[in-house]
Amino acid sequence: SQKIEQNSEALNIQEGKTATLTCNYTNYSPAYLQWYRQDPGRGPVFLLLIRENEKEKRKERLKVTFDTTLKQSLFHITASQPADSATYLCALSGGSNYKLTFGKGTLLTVNP
């Protein structure tokens, strides 16, 4: 069966450093991979989408890579700030991109 693993339940880093979160998957050939941010008591918020034929995508301080050979995505937040503290979810979808499968998330804490 399809499996998505976000390799850390929790990650603590110092303000100003780069946070790197990992999403691995098995038994799946996704066409799209998305990253979401979720704050406590709120619904997830879309951050970035990357297609299977894209290696990297950037948006402001965020960068996502997608390696379909390794079956892995890396999500980077550069110059991290305490306001970046949240749970980050990765999600995969097939070619029609109408149904997402989510990982369990990584709780990022950025310490001042």
How far is C-alpha 51 from the geometric centre of its chain's CA atoms?
13
Stretch that binds other proteins, among 17-25, 45-53, 59-67, 68-76 (CB under 8 A): 45-53
Is residue 105 within the footprint of other proteins (CB under 8 A)? Answer: yes
Q: Residue 16: left (phi > 0), alpha (psi -120 to 50), or beta?
A: left
- Distance from first CA to last CA of the chain, Å, rounded? 41
Residue (of 10, 18, 8) closest to 77 by Cα position: 18
Q: For other proteins, give the closer residue by CB, 23 or 80.
A: 23
Pattern 25-44, other proteins, x by CB under 8 A: -------x-x------xxxx
Size of the site for other proteins (CB under 8 A): 20
Contacting residues for 26 by C-beta, under 8 A, at least 6 apart: 2, 3, 5, 71
Indicate the residue among 43 and 112 with the shorter CB distance to other proteins: 43
* Site residues, other proteins (CB under 8 A): 32, 34, 41-46, 49, 51, 89, 97-105
